[in-house]
Amino acid sequence: MASMPNILVTGGAGFIGAHICEALVRANYRPVIYDNLTNSSHTVIERLEHLTGVRPLLIHADLRDERQLNAAFEQTTFAAVIHLAALKAVGVSMAQPLQYYDVNVAGTLALLAAMRHANVRTLVFSSSATVYGDASTVPIREDSPRNPTNPYGRTKAAAEDILTDLAHAEPGWRLAVLRYFNPIGAHESGLIGEDPQGTPDNLLPYITQVAIGCRKALNVFGNDYPTPDGTGVRDYIHVVDLAEGHIAALQCLEASGGCIIANLGTGYGLSVLEVVRAFERASNRHIPLRFVSRRPGDVAQCYADPRSANRLLGWKAERDIHRMCADAWRWQSLNPRGYRDAPAVAGRARSVWPAFRSRLHQRPFIPHGPEALDA
CA-CA distance, 30 to 23, in Å (whole number)? 10
Of 152, 180, 225, 339, which one is the catalytic site residue?
Answer: 152
Catalytic residue status for 268: no
Instruction: Provide the annotated active-site residues.
Output: 152
